[in-house]
Amino acid sequence: MPDRNSEMAIPGGTAKLAGREVARIGFGAMQLPGPGVWGPPKDRDTALAVLRRAVELGVNHIDTAHFYGDGVANELIRTALHPYPENLALVSKVGAIRDSNGAFMPAQRPEQLRAGVEANLASLGVERIDVVNLRLVDEMPSGTPLPDSEKADLDSQLAEMTALRDEGKIGGIGVSNVTMEQLRAALPADLACVQNAYSLLDRSGEPLLDLCRNHGVAWVPYFPLGSAFPGMPKVSEHPAVVKAAAELGATPAQVGLAWLLAHDSGTLLIPGTSSLSHLEDNIATVGVRLDPATMEVLDGLHMAE
């Protein structure tokens, strides 16, 4: 398969997702529910306005999950946007549920994956979801390994996802939080996308990105700017990123996102926010052009710096 970076990609434009052309900057709905991705948003009207403004700005790829707020994110999307624009790709995920305290709990068994898809269909108000990601989980919230009662082998999980696709309930299958071995095993399922942690400063997923590139699978990084979690580098705070942003008249976050778009032409971004101004800044990344000298500096950064 030809290298999809045979010509340097420019920020913006479109890329393939489950056979559809979608804008390369989409929207992630994880930040719309309340604190801890649980319960209603602090400001419901603003959350709805963010979703509507995203679509106004050309976003046609929204990433969500029924377990974001236990249905809250999906309800907001449905309220704000239903009936959905014809070109809008809705992407969700399964593999987890929430307990009564809001903790993320594994839901990896095939019957749980099916129940998760059905919950997403109901809360989004659709008969088919364009893509559903299988998020693989290998430990409990406490960090202990999954008990045998919660485990499921990848083959049986993919078989259930394939059955759901064959039934027309989902359009494409994605995987999330996967190892290289798991990704290789999942490729025969005709994957639409892979969601793994990846950023300018955390390129541990580069071998998986290469495999996606070679097989025409969309790469959808989460934590594209790092994270607030301890030990994870924050892209917008790196001196080289701050310097490049000042020289380009952009924000450090825009530089971090623009590098991802320029690094691989099949990468789709789903930055999330509950702020209208941050949303508009994220979308404005399409206007940030990284010159060769800046790309060389940024390419040279790595996690240890």
Confidence of residue 123 (pLDDT cuts 50, 70, 90): very high
pLDDT tens-digit profile of 226-270?
A: 876 677 789 999 999 999 999 999 999 999 999 999 999 999 999
The residues pairing with 197 across neighbouring beta strands, listed in sequence order, are 222
Query: Of all residues in the chain, what percent carry a pLDDT higher than 90?
Result: 86
191 versus 2: the higher-pLDDT residue is 191
For residues 164-186, average pLDDT? 98
With tokens 């025969």, the residue in question is 188
Tokens of 61: 């790829």
Question: Which pLDDT does position 229 carry in this prediction?
Answer: 67
Is 222 annotated as catalytic?
Answer: no
Between CA 106 and CA 135 the distance in angstroms is 9
First to last CA, the chain: 34
3, 63, 139, 174, 248 from 76: Cα distances, Å: 39, 13, 30, 23, 36
Between CA 69 and CA 116 the distance in angstroms is 14
Segments of the chain assigned E as strands: 14-17, 20-23, 27-28, 61-63, 89-94, 96-98, 104-106, 129-135, 170-176, 191-195, 218-219
Question: Which pLDDT does position 188 carry in this prediction?
Answer: 98
| Catalytic hit among 68, 84, 198, 222 | 68
Residue partners of 268: CB distance under 8 A and separation at least 6: 15, 17, 22, 24, 26, 61, 193, 218, 219, 220
pLDDT tens-digit profile of 129-160?
A: 999 999 999 888 878 888 888 889 999 999 99
State yes or no: pLDDT of 107 exceeds 80.
yes
Look up the CATH number of domain 14-299: 3.20.20.100
**Residue 161 phi, psi dihedral angles, 5° rounding:** -65, -40
Q: For residue 105, which amino acid is it?
A: M
Question: Which pLDDT does position 139 carry in this prediction?
Answer: 83
pLDDT tens-digit profile of 6-16?
A: 333 333 689 99
State yes or no: pLDDT of 4 exceeds 70.
no
Question: Which pLDDT does position 12 carry in this prediction?
Answer: 64
For residues 64-70, average pLDDT? 97
The residues pairing with 145 across neighbouring beta strands, listed in sequence order, are 139
74, 128, 151, 182 from 148: Cα distances, Å: 31, 32, 5, 19
Torsion of Cα atoms, 14 then 18 then 20 then 25, to 10°: -30
Q: What is the CA radius of gyration of the chain?
A: 19
